[in-house]
Amino acid sequence: MTTPLDQMTILPVILPAMAAAFLVLALRHHLAGQRIASIGVTLLLVGIAAFLLAQASDGTVRAYRLGDWPAPYGITLVLDRLSATLLLLTAVLALCVVVYAAGGVDGRGRHFHPLFQFQLMGINGAFLTGDVFNLFVFFEVMLIASYGLMLHGGGPARLKAGFQYVAINLLASVVFLVGVGLIYAVTGTLNMADLAVKVPQVAEADAALLKAGALLLFLVFATKAALVPLHWWLPATYAGASAPAAAMFMIMTKVGAYAIIRVYGLVFGAGAGPLALAAAPFVIPAALVTLAVGAIGLVGSRTLRDLSAFAVIASMGTLLVAIGLFDAAGLAAGLYYLVHSTLAGAALFLIAGLVQEQRGAARDRLVPGPAMAGETLIGGLFFLAAIALVGLPPLSGFLGKVMILKAAQASAIWPWIWGLILAASLVMTFGFARAGSVLFWASGPASGTKPPPALSLAAVVLFLGLMVAWTLAAGPATDGLQLTARQALDRSAYIGAVLGPDARLAARD
């Protein structure tokens, strides 16, 4: 029944898992070999993800049943446009990050590359899974690897920040399990397609219990996506981690956003009867506060890494405003912005890493320090990344924000959305301008450090090049993302692909 090409769906999970084990067992003490193997595997992942996206862009939802156990009893992976798009984004991001790390950061602790591959396995799995409990498992795989990556390189401050990060995520996991337990108790299933069928049919007496479970789950995803007031872990974690680890973590906040789209767009989406759009009333207000907190924190930051972390919070706020609209136009604009903000945020963290290496004792604090080797180049790259993150023309951040503003006109509170997004952009411009002028203009004599490694610089240039390409491709990209958004909100296609056409008919009735 299945052709070998259909088996490709599982590769983004299996390949990094095998690669990580191989790196630990066979190349334990060969950093050069680890680098080559890790870059090679990541390159292969880019290829696989591109193939899967090409496969998914014919508009069908593909269900992959592990061991051919029929859904909803077995484990199901689901490949559609949304998951394929995010797989490709993850692979491209990972390629740039691993090239940057090969410039020298990976040698400061042990096992950077195996941890990196394990994290890729968890992220890819979370994007592909069609089952809420497997989402939990892949979250945990991703988090365990991220704990290791976050602590990579050591140091007391990193250990303290790491403890908080691990503690808050363990708490989130506990809440996740309580939510999953409640949903299972009411519906008797955890398969997302089966849930989408059963949630609208829930007895009235059980609806409140199910809603409690759904909202507990929302708390977990909001924690991952750094939605205010659950964002407190993010600045310390991202600013405490090494530059490539922080850049890779950019996709982890997006996993939270993806889970919100999947669970609250599909399972508890518009067609879910009494529980339709269970989380929707909370998303946009919280996202607007997130945006404000990010912008204010950005201005108040004392180091470039803190500033980057608050820029990430602000961009998550903007993204979740778009997702919170829960319609196709908002989701398409949000997805365009999601790709952009992942690339731009990762570039900014890598630049912060370069700046920190170059300024001696001043590190990345926003105080006048010695001039950097390659200051013009790093300064130029920072300027581009700042423009992109603030959302000024001509880069993709501007286009993304315009699309979100346009889509937000459908919302009843659109004056608030417009006002806050525009005001936050202004405040962020001020924060970036201050940081840039202190770092690059108020510098003293050269510190005499070595110029940054060519590989690391190449990775940053690659990111900015990708962003320019994303800007130029805005027309075709938005056309594709419109279809992606419509497919992601289409319950009957998803249910039909996973459970078979009969269930699709039942769902329609």
Partner 1 sequence: MELLVAAAIGILTTAGTYLMLRAYTFPVILGLTFLSYAVNVFLFAMGRLAIDRPPVISPDAPGYTDPLPQALVLTAIVISFGMTALIVALALRGYLETGSDRSTLDAPRRTDAGGGA
Q: Where do contacts with partner 1 occur on this chain (CB under 8 A)?
A: 105, 108, 133, 137, 140, 144, 147, 151, 153-164, 166-167, 170-171, 173-174, 177-178, 180-182, 184-185, 236, 240, 242-243, 303, 353, 356-357, 363, 365
CB 101 within 8 A of CB 117: no
- Joined together, the tokens standing for residue 315 give 């961009």
Q: How many CB atoms are located within 10 Å of the residue 89 CB? A: 22
Q: Which is nearer to partner 1, 175 or 276 (CB)?
A: 175
End-to-end CA distance of the chain: 30
Specify burial of residue 65 (Cβ count, 10 A radius: 0-12, 13-18, 19+). middle
Q: Which is nearer to partner 1, 174 or 402 (CB)?
A: 174
Give the shortest CB-157-to-partner 1 separation in angstroms. 4
CA distances from 58 to 46, 51, 52, 167, 177 (A): 19, 12, 11, 43, 36
Closest among 87, 280, 268, 290 to 179, alpha carbons compared = 268
382 half-sphere exposure, CB direction, 13 A CA radius:
29
Give the shortest CB-314-to-partner 1 separation in angstroms. 21
Q: How many CB atoms are located within 10 Å of the residue 70 CB? A: 11
Q: Which is nearer to partner 1, 148 or 294 (CB)?
A: 148
Give the shortest CB-508-to-partner 1 separation in angstroms. 28
Give the shortest CB-71-to-partner 1 separation in angstroms. 14
Rounded Cα–Cα distance for residues 285 and 249 (Å): 25
Give the shortest CB-140-to-partner 1 separation in angstroms. 5
Q: Which is nearer to partner 1, 8 or 177 (CB)?
A: 177
CB 224 within 8 A of CB 255: yes
How does DSSP assign 462-500, residue by residue? HHHHHHHHHHHTHHHHHHHHHHHHHHHT-HHHHHHHHH-
Give the shortest CB-145-to-partner 1 separation in angstroms. 11
Q: Which is nearer to partner 1, 176 or 337 (CB)?
A: 176
Give the shortest CB-280-to-partner 1 separation in angstroms. 26
Q: Which is nearer to partner 1, 80 or 306 (CB)?
A: 306
Give the shortest CB-414-to-partner 1 separation in angstroms. 38
Specify burial of residue 222 (Cβ count, 10 A radius: 0-12, 13-18, 19+). buried
Q: Which is nearer to partner 1, 367 or 469 (CB)?
A: 367
Rounded Cα–Cα distance for residues 232 and 165 (Å): 10
Q: Which is nearer to partner 1, 79 or 166 (CB)?
A: 166
3-class DSSP state of 365: strand
